[in-house]
């Protein structure tokens, strides 16, 4: 596709349930990023993938969060045993390479997660 796509656009879940968020990056982009944006806050870096390398998980807020990227393309962010504080907009972005300073990241529309 022409841009980054994410699904679902909205997800309402009950506390304690698991959720999966999907991201399809721009074709050919090797780097993929997940961010979280809580109300009124800036983008919180969660995890990123560079090509087929193991992801950097140091930004994940807890061990309930995990992400994988299959075949160097589509990525899934999984949140287990959701908590109310997980409610936020989850944004995915991709860039041609992982090279902060020379590459622009292109964002998907986000998934708004609401945990009741």
Partner 1 sequence: EDKVVQSPLSLVVHEGDTVTLNCSYEVTNFRSLLWYKQEKKAPTFLFMLTSSGIEKKSGRLSSILDKKELFSILNITATQTGDSAVYLCAATNNAGNMLTFGGGTRLMVKP
Point out which residues bind partner 1 (CB under 8 A): 3-4, 41-48, 56, 58-59, 93, 100-109
* The residue to which tokens 């041609």 are assigned: 96
Nearest residue (CB) to partner 1, 17 versus 57: 57
Output the smallest distance, CB 85 to partner 1, in A. Answer: 16
Structure letter (DSSP) for residue 53: S
How far apart are the C-alpha atoms of 1 and 71, rounded to whole Å?
Answer: 17
Nearest residue (CB) to partner 1, 7 versus 56: 56
Output the smallest distance, CB 105 to partner 1, in A. Answer: 5
Q: Which of 38, 47, 35 is nearest to 88 (CA)?
A: 38
Output the smallest distance, CB 44 to partner 1, in A. Answer: 5
Output the smallest distance, CB 46 to partner 1, in A. Answer: 8
Nearest residue (CB) to partner 1, 71 versus 104: 104
Nearest residue (CB) to partner 1, 47 versus 113: 47
Q: Under 8 Å CB-to-CB from 20, ≥6 apart: which residues?
A: 76, 77, 78
Q: Where are the beta strands (DSSP E) in 3-98?
A: 5-7, 10-13, 19-24, 31-37, 44-50, 65-69, 75-79, 88-95
């Amino acid at each position: 596709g022409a841009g980054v796509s994410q699904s679902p656009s909205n997800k309402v879940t009950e506390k304690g349930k698991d959720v999966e968020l999907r991201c399809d990056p721009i074709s050919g982009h090797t780097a993929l990023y997940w961010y979280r944006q809580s109300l009124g806050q800036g983008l919180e870096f969660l995890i990123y993938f560079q090509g087929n390398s193991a992801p950097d998980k140091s930004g994940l807020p807890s061990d309930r969060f995990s992400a994988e990227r299959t075949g160097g393309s589509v990525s899934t962010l999984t949140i287990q045993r959701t908590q109310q504080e997980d409610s936020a907009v989850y944004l995915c972005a991709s860039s041609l390479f992982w090279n902060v300073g020379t590459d622009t990241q292109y964002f998907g529309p986000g998934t708004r997660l609401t945990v009741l």
